[in-house]
Amino acid sequence: EEMLACEVPEGDLYYNAIRRRDTIEFDAALRTRTERAIQAVRHLIETNTVPPAEYTRKCRNCPLINLCVPKGTGRSRDPGTYVNRSLDISLSRADNDQ
C-alpha cells in the first residue's frame, strides 16, 4: 500500500496441504495486531531470545514442523540452546534414515 500509494482491502491465504483458500479483510484491528506482532519480533531480536516452541494441534499441518521441532526443543528461550537441541534432533533423524 505504501509503495504503490493504493489501498489493499483484502488478501487471500492459500493452505496448500489442505487445498483451502481464505480471504482475509485488512481492517484496522488486523493492522494493529500486525504492528504489535512486528514490535514483538523486533524485541525478540534486540534481546536475543526466541519464543518457546510449543506443540499444539496446529503443528500437525505446519510445513515448518521439521525446522521448529516443537516436541523436542523444550521451552528454552536461549537461541543457542534451541539451535543445539534442534541440531541434535536433526542429526539423530539423519542417523536413523541411514
CA 51/CA 68 separation, integer angstroms: 11
Are 73 and 53 in contact by the 8 Å Cβ rule? The answer is: yes
- Summarised one tens digit per residue, pLDDT across range 62-88 is 887 777 776 666 666 666 776 777 677
pLDDT at 24: 95
Are 13 and 22 in contact by the 8 Å Cβ rule? The answer is: yes
- Summarised one tens digit per residue, pLDDT across range 19-58 is 999 999 999 999 999 999 999 989 988 988 877 777 888 8
pTM (two decimals) = 0.55
* E strand or H helix that includes residue 95: helix 79-97
CA 4/CA 50 separation, integer angstroms: 34
